[in-house]
Structure 1
Amino acid sequence: MGPVEFIVLAFPEEQLRVPAVEAVMGLRKAGVVRLIDGLVATKTAAGEVMAAEFDEFMELRGLLAHREAARLIGPEDVREAADLLDRGSCALLLVVEHVWAEDAAIAVRAAGGRIAGSVRIPVERVGAA
């Protein structure tokens, strides 16, 4: 198995942006990532936090109906993700395996190593460098 990551993709309104969702899901179809779990979190204008299953959205229906799917995102994860959201916005919460790195991860483990950590570098920092 390759590295697994929890990702929060925030959108500025309470509705998902379908082209962005399709682009992310295209990575799954291309075999770059494996979708393990996912939810949609919404923070209303009043500050109420709600979570919804993928099957409640036409564009996400059936994405977690495969055998690799697992329920890993819990209520605490939803609350933490909501802290990152502005009022009146939503987010895709995803747990993905980076399939593209699976062979390297297997080789590292076979050599007695492990993936000890990873850090996301904000695009602004990369651009500034």
Structure 2
Amino acid sequence: MRRVRVMAVMGPVEFVVLTFPGERLNVGAVAALERLRRSGAVRLIDSLVVTRSAESGEAASAHPAELPELAALFPADERPELITPHEAHEAASLLSPGDCALLLLVEHLWAAEAAQAVCEAGGRIAASVRIAPDRMAGAHAGALATA
């Protein structure tokens, strides 16, 4: 009888850059992310806030736990610091002066159970492609028009 070695499977991990106007994050939007974390849908692996100064145009970064308005949403003990300075620099290049970004490394826990089942069956996830929401909206509108 063939034995199948089963290892713990992580859900898909995604690096996300959310940009906001102004040098402070929208706390309401961040709170919605926290609700997803508490529900068990996602696991926050790492996070970083990047701002581009309106005055000098210089970029700066900080962990959300270091910012008073975000500290409760991002506990300081959850900081593995996997988001690199290079990634922060790249995110800063997306910002206009006076804007900010929240960089997130997120595991999609909701997909881990399905991934585990695929692995137990001897399969593997060979590819995954993220489709931008605006592309899906266009495809959906086109499908409705032809229906």
Q: Does 1:76 align with 2:86?
A: yes
DSSP-derived class of the 2:35 partner: helix
DSSP-derived class of the 1:35 partner: strand
Let me know the Cα RMSD of the aligned residues.
Answer: 1.9
Unaligned runs of 5+ residues in structure 1 are none
> What is the identity percentage for the equivalent residue pairs of Structure 1 and Structure 2?
55
Judged with a 3 Å threshold, the aligned counterparts in structure 2 of structure 1 residues 108 and 42 are, in CA distance, closer, same or farther, namely: same
* Residue 19 (structure 2) aligns with: 10
* Residue 101 (structure 2) aligns with: 91
Q: Normalising by structure 1, report the TM-score.
A: 0.87
Judged with a 3 Å threshold, the aligned counterparts in structure 2 of structure 1 residues 125 and 51 are, in CA distance, closer, same or farther, namely: same
Q: Which has the larger radius of gyration?
A: 2
* Residue 19 (structure 1) aligns with: 28
More off after superposition, 69-78 vs 93-102: 69-78
What is the count of residue pairs matched by the alignment?
128
DSSP-derived class of the 2:25 partner: coil
Pairing partner for 2:52 from 43, 52, 66: 43
Q: Does 1:58 align with 2:68?
A: yes
DSSP-derived class of the 1:61 partner: coil
Quick one: higher RCO (CA 8 Å, sep 6+), 1 or 2? 1
